[in-house]
């Protein structure tokens, strides 16, 4: 049985993205609800992870990491294929 495990994360936003979240916080505050920017970011990230399912988010992250280190060179990443965990292709070693 899979038991959910809580995880704490830190998110670093570029200035433009942070400004957008701050603007959203101000709009919400003008509507009479005070929501700190950090809480708004957390809420949006949680909503996005629920929309995609944490497993899908984790698998996409794994694919991204493998692609960036070159393990999937020449292979196209397919978001529809998120049920499979990608494997790392090892480069052929030269024999001396």
Cβ atoms of residues 21 and 40 within 8 Å: yes
- From the list 36, 32, 54, the residue with the least C-alpha distance to 45 is 54
Query: Helices 54-68 and 37-52 sit at what angle, rounded to 10 degrees?
Result: 90
Predicted TM-score (pTM) of this structure: 0.47
> Can you give the length of the chain in residues?
96
Residue 39 lies in a domain: yes
Q: What's the number of domains the chain is made of?
A: 1
Residue 4 lies in a domain: no
Summarised one tens digit per residue, pLDDT across range 48-65 is 877 877 778 778 878 888
Residue 30 lies in a domain: yes
Could you tell me which residues come within 8 angstroms of residue 72 by beta carbon, excluding any fewer than 6 positions away? 63, 66, 86, 89
In the 8-state DSSP scheme, what is residue 84?
S
> What whole-number distance in Å separates Cα of residue 93 and Cα of residue 34?
59
Residue 44 lies in a domain: yes
Banded pLDDT at 90 (limits 50, 70, 90): low
Q: Residue 74 belongs to what domain range?
A: 15-81
Residue 68 lies in a domain: yes
Query: Helices 15-30 and 37-52 sit at what angle, rounded to 10 degrees?
Result: 100
């Amino acid at each position: 049985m899979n038991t959910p495990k809580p995880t704490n994360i830190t998110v670093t936003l570029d200035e433009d993205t942070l400004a957008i979240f701050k603007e959203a916080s101000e709009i919400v505050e003008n509507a009479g609800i005070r929501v700190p920017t950090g809480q708004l970011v957390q809420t949006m990230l949680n909503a996005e992870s629920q929309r995609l399912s944490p497993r899908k988010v984790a698998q996409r992250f794994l694919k991204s990491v493998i692609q960036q280190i070159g393990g999937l060179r020449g292979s196209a990443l397919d978001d529809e294929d998120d049920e499979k965990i990608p494997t790392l292709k090892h480069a052929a070693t030269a024999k001396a």
